[in-house]
Each structure stands twice: as structure tokens, then as C-alpha cells.
Amino acid sequence: MTPRLLIAPIALALSLASLMSPSAQAGTQEPRVLSFSGYDWSVKASTGLVGPGPNQFSDDPANVSLDGQGRLRLAIVNRSGVWTSAEIINQTRLGYGTYTWTLDGDVTQLAPQAVLGMFTWSDDPSYANREIDIEFSKWGNPSAKKTGWYAIQTGVFPTPLSSNFAVRKATSSVHTFTWRPGSVQFQSTAGGRTYRWSHTGGDVAIPGDETPRINLWLYEGKAPSAGVLSVVVRGFSFRPLA
């Protein structure tokens, strides 16, 4: 199944959120670092609201932890009346190649306000921060059916290139994108179905100082309604171009 290309209102919301740096850390304190899937990752923390969202991010183990199997758990947590989100930032720049995230759990059960992101990001604004996204969210709409999103930020504000799809319920799923000179190919497999979308053109970024990241946050920073507020990532892998 190949979703069609579209310019979506939700993609606009994503683009607006991206204007606020996802890398903001609180003060001068060294970030917490954890080892996951063979890489070191910084855990994002902020004392106030930062992007995306905006949200407050916490490095508390209740928000970001590893279980006994080495799986990553990200959670949105209410702490003393303040909702806190989670993000980890790979410390290694990887560039062209195939990025793969394997999830345990059903992303269709996330709270309508929750957003799961698996993406690349650079704080350098060149090439639209070199942002390539795989995301799952209902963007605040409990009745939304197409909750899977692929997006490439091209710098033609406010309309990134994007495609969305109705992901099946599944206890596990695999999500990848392959970044090559002039093209990005996306693929997700869940519940026995595979979804694909690709884009080719001169608006695809070239590598720079971007790193892969994983986050779980609240759309527009709004308090969540009923639904799941955590995700488990079984693993992340990267394969450079041959």
C-alpha cells in the first residue's frame, strides 16, 4: 500500500512545532546519558516549555528508562501538576543510510494528544534542520483513523512534504527510512501490512550535524485525555549506504 502525497494541516502543525528547537537543555547541567541499542543517547531536560509542543521535558527515570531486556521506555508523566514529556538524542552523527526503529506495543492506543516521533534533527537551520520524520499521533482528534505520518521538512515553510496512513493495531511494528542523495524512502510494517512512501528531488537535505532522536510529547502542550501515555522501543539500528 502506497499512501498518496499530500500537504496536510497536521503537517503544518508539525512544521510550526519544529521552529522551536527540540534540543534545548536546562541550564548548564550535563545531560543524563543512557546506552541503548549500541549507542549513547542524551536525555533531554528543560525547566520550562520548549519545542516541540511546546512541552516541558524531563530526564527523570519515570519519563525515560531501560527495562531488564534493554528496551527503551518513554513516558509522559504528570509531576506535581505539570505534564512532562520525553526525548533522547543520539550522540552520533550517522548521515546517509537506513534508520530503523522497532516498537513493542500498539501505537494506535496512544492518547489523542500524544505524539511519538522517530526522526533526524540538526540545530543548524540549514536544509530545514535536516528533519526527516516518522510520527504517530491523532493530533488531538480522538476519531482520527490515519495516525501514521511520514514527513520531510524541505524549508518551504509552512508546508513540508508528507504522507499519512491508517496503521493497523499490532503488538509490535518496524519503521524505517532510507536517506540517499536526493531521496528518502519510508516503510512501516505492522499487523501484517506494509506501508511505503518515497520522495525524490533536489529539496532533500544533505548530511550535516543532524542526529537521530526519539520523543514522546503532547500536541500543543495540552493535557492528555484517556489513552496510553508511554511507548516501548525494542531497538534502533542504522545501516550506512553500501
Domain ranges of the chain: 9-240
What is the CATH number that goes with domain 9-240? 2.60.120.200
pLDDT band at 8 (very low <50, low <70, confident <90, very high): very low
Q: What percent of the chain has pLDDT over 70?
A: 87
Tell me the pLDDT of the chain averaged across its residues.
89
For residues 84 and 30, give the distance between their C-alpha atoms in angstroms, rounded to a whole number: 19
User: In the predicted model, is pLDDT for residue 185 greater than 60?
Assistant: yes
pLDDT at 226: 86
pLDDT at 1: 36
For residues 87 and 136, give the distance between their C-alpha atoms in angstroms, rounded to a whole number: 15
pLDDT digits (tens, 9 = 90+) for 53-72: 999 999 999 999 999 999 99
Kindly report each contact of residues 39-45 with a partner whose C-beta sits within 8 Å and lies 24 or more positions away, as own/partner: 39/90, 39/91, 39/92, 39/236, 40/90, 40/91, 40/92, 41/88, 41/89, 41/90, 41/91, 42/88, 42/89, 42/91, 43/86, 43/87, 43/88, 43/89, 44/86, 44/87, 44/88, 44/89, 44/215
**Do you find a cis peptide bond into 61, omega within 30 degrees of 0?**
no
Phi, psi of 232 (to 5 degrees): -120, 125
Q: What angle do CA 32, 33, 35 make, to 5 degrees?
A: 150
For residues 145 and 237, give the distance between their C-alpha atoms in angstroms, rounded to a whole number: 29
| Residues contacting 226, CB < 8 A, separation 6+ | 111
User: In the predicted model, is pLDDT for residue 26 greater than 80?
Assistant: no
